[in-house]
Amino acid sequence: MQEYERFYKRNELGVEEKLKDSGTWQGVPREEVPWFPTIMEELCDGCRICLDFCSFGVYGYDKKTDKVKVANPYYCQVGCSICAAKCKPKAILFPPLRILESFRKRR
């Protein structure tokens, strides 16, 4: 198992996951692009719709709080916010799209 340790890590929820390159967005390293969800914990009802819906692995489930958490923010596809539309209690927030436009202009 030691030979695989460099390919895996434990995230903040204690889930072992394969390290993934977050890639780039329009030539910019993904980690420099300010686009990822924020979950309003007080509104989250723990239904896991976002967790099931997002195929990019952005979310994780915290058994201690019985809530969904953003486990891998930079896996989120820039400009996508469909999970927020699926969230019935409206617990998922994204920055306004105009942030991406202003970010593009700075580059």
CATH number at residue 98: 3.30.70.20
Q: How many domains does the chain have?
A: 1
Residue 88: pLDDT over 50:
yes
Residues 6+ positions from 56 with CB-CB distance below 8 Å: 72, 75, 76, 77
Stronger pLDDT, 44 or 22, i.e. the higher one: 44
Domain of 67? 23-106
Give me the numbers of helices (H) and strands (E) for the chain, helices first please: 3, 8
31 found inside a domain: yes
The model's pTM: 0.76
The confidence band for 14, taking pLDDT boundaries of 50, 70 and 90, is low
Q: Which H helix or E strand runs over 5?
A: none
The confidence band for 4, taking pLDDT boundaries of 50, 70 and 90, is very low
35 found inside a domain: yes
Structure-token pair, residue 88: 């019935």
3 found inside a domain: no
7 found inside a domain: no
33 found inside a domain: yes
